[in-house]
Amino acid sequence: MLILSVIHTCLEQSLVIEENIQKLGRVNNYIRMKRLLFPFLFFFYCSANAQQTLYLNDPQGAYKQAREYFQKQNYSLAYPIFRELEQDQQSQLQDNESFERQDIHYYTLVCSLNQDDSASVAPARQFIEQENNAARGQMLSYHLAEYEFRRGDYASALHLYESAGIDNLSNAEIANAKFHQGYAYFVKKDFERAKPLFDAIRQLRSDPNYIDANYYYGYISFYQKKYSDASAAFAVVENDPKYRSVVPYYIANIYLVQNQKDKAISYAASKLDAGNQYYDAELRELTGHGYYEQKNFEKALPFLESYVSKSKKVTRQDMFELSYCYYELKNYK
């Protein structure tokens, strides 16, 4: 019993010792970690302070650097510099001889808007309404319009685009504004205003919105029954990954209304063979009906069968054509 008691006591002491060793090990690891991290933390601390010192001691150099970022549309890099300069100016309560206070405020607002900061909206509107600088007001109207467009407030965006005009915008900004105005009018179903704006972008093959502008122009033209215009626009986007599953339905129908029935049937059938059509059922109806009118009941049957089986609602004419195909092919199932 004495031996067991001694063993038990030794085990307890060993556990205590092990626990202390582990604690000591954690402390040592923590110390080693601090020693490893300290140089990096010190470096970042010094860098941050050095950067702040640069802003305060060399505002002209900081302003120049921020302008370079701004011109390259690196708004996330330009913003903290402009913000620091603006805060420094506010604390000094005096004009800087090298550059205008208004310039700093303008650049800060533009950078903030381009980072979708809602806190900059009210100051931007105040700048546009109150500052005696028409050019800057128009440019800021453009950036605020872009902000409203991105968040889906198309009514506000349209008003601001009108206020911005084009006199003080770059060619790229003008084109961007035209496309976004066109899209905003399109969403509002104001096709008469949207169409010429999309048409303007269709003339710019290198524009990033060239493909989208052709699609929307084609859609509006189709809606207006201007099928030649629609066909020309849809031809541009027919094989684009974004629209190749949608546009064939419109092209096939254009062939039909232009009395090119054979072309409509063969085109629709080829697109269905390729698969992944957004208007799959509608294309099957069109193809099946076309073959039926040609009295090619064997080719019509699978398209009409597929259309009827997949559609929630079909017409009596569709059911009659399908039944007649069964009859002609002696398929009495």
Tally Cβ neighbours within 10 Å of residue 292. 23
Q: What is the pLDDT of residue 90?
A: 76
Q: pLDDT tens-digit profile of 23-59?
A: 444 444 444 544 544 444 444 444 444 444 455 567 7
Name the residue type at position 30.
Answer: Y
Tens of pLDDT, residue by residue over 92-133, are 655 544 457 889 999 999 999 999 999 999 999 999 998 888
User: For position 55, what pLDDT does the model report?
Assistant: 53
Domain assignments of the chain as residue spans, ordered by start: 261-333
Q: Which residue has the tokens 């929307």?
A: 216
Calculate what percentage of the chain has a pLDDT beyond 70.
80
Q: What tokens does 292 get?
A: 């039926």
Higher per-residue pLDDT: 163 or 6: 163
Identify the weakest region by mean pLDDT among 30-44, 234-248, 280-294, 299-313.
30-44
Residue 161 φ then ψ, to 5°: -60, -40
- Look at residues 146, 218, 230 and name the one whose alpha carbon lies nearest to residue 184: 146
Rounded-to-integer distance, Cα 289 and Cα 81, Å: 67
Distance CA 163, CA 179 (A): 16
